Amino acid sequence: MKKLTLLLLGCFIGLAGCEITPKEAVPVTPIILPEQNKFCLFVADSAVEHNCELTYWLDFWVEHDTLSWTQRKELINQLGDSTGELMKKVLLSQGKGTPYQNRLRAQGWADDLIPSLTEQMKQLLFVLVYRPSQELLEFESALTILTRMNTNQSKELDVQQQRLFEQQQQIDQLLKIEASMMEKKEGISQ
C-alpha cells in the first residue's frame, strides 16, 4: 500500500512539474488582409462613392434612424435610382414608423440591389435589413387581417344583438296577445 501511495505521489509531482516549467512564447503575427479583401458593399466594378467604407453606411443608417418618417420620406424623394442612392433609400426605410407600403417598396429596392452586392454584403443586408423588414411586413399583414376579422366579427355581433332585440320585442308582443286572450277566455267561462 505504501508503494502505491509513493507511486501516485510521484506521478502527481511529475505532472505538476510540467506546469512549473516555463513555456516557450509563441510569436503572434497580426493578420494583414490584402487590399482586395476589404469589406465592400458593391462589386469592384461599381462606381459607388464610399463603396468600401462600411462605417460610412452604418453611420448614415444610425444618423437617420432618429428622424421621423416624414423627414426620412422627404430624403427618399430627393434620391435617385443609382446603386448608392438605392442603398440609402433602403436604409432610410428601415426606421420606426415606416408605413407598410413604403417598407414593402424598400424590399423591392433591396431585391434590385442584390445582384450588384458583394457576397459579404448580400449576407449582411439579408441579416440586418431584409429579414427583419420581411418579418415586420408579415406581422403587419397578419395584424391587418386580424383587425379586419375582428371588425367583421364586431359588426356581426352588432347585427345579432339587433336581431335578438327585435325577437325579444316580438316575444313580448306575443305574450301580451296571449295574456289578453287568456283574460277574454276567463271572462267567457265565468
pLDDT at 66 over 80: yes
Nearest to 99 by CA among 125, 78, 68: 68
Q: Which pLDDT tens digit goes with each residue over 40-51?
A: 877 865 677 778
Dist. CA 27–CA 99, nearest whole Å? 55
Residue with cell string 506546469: 19
Distance CA 44, CA 117 (A): 9
- In this prediction, residue 138 carries a pLDDT of 87
Is residue 8 predicted with pLDDT exceeding 80? no
Give 150 or 187, the one with higher predicted confidence.
150
Cα–Cα distance measured from residue 118 to residue 105, given in angstroms and rounded to the nearest whole number: 22
Displacement of CA 20 from its chain's centroid (Å): 54
Percent of the chain with pLDDT over 90: 28
